Structure 1
């Protein structure tokens, strides 16, 4: 059975509403409701897990790129020492 998340979620909502509306449990339909609900729940859970893993992978990659960029920022002319800049040595020495 290759139902989508939306279809499976709809089954769960329908069965939940059916059970809420009943003043007395309908034993004849209960087994069918439970079986369909369990199957729909498994489809939903599988899809949720897949989406979470995909998000973790996508966001984890983006976070790693941000960490890498912060740890090793690209060198620019502004970050390089300018010629003649003092490095703690005496500026009077010609070499």
Structure 2
């Protein structure tokens, strides 16, 4: 999907880009496009990793308690 390797790297990108935007006194529209594109890719990586962890956790919990009702 992306050349960003893992949740931590993607999260750091999101933090850095948010800080860049916070520090800007005068909004530079030309610099926004690459920041938004990079942030969107990083967000997608984070979202996919969180979904994978959530699915693995649900599977693990199902295996631990097979009689529990499923949502």
TM-score by length of 1: 0.65
Say which structure is richer in helix: 2
Partner in structure 1 of residue 55 of structure 2:
53
Moved over 4 A (4+): none
The structure, 1 or 2, with the larger RCO (C-alpha pairs under 8 Å, 6+ apart) is 2
Paired residues of 2:4 and 2:42 also in contact (CA < 8 A) = no
Please list every run of 5 or more consecutive structure 1 residues that lacks an aligned counterpart in the other structure: 69-95
Partner in structure 2 of residue 28 of structure 1:
30
TM-score by length of 2: 0.85
Aligned residue pairs, count: 66
Please list every run of 5 or more consecutive structure 2 residues that lacks an aligned counterpart in the other structure: none
Partner in structure 2 of residue 93 of structure 1:
none
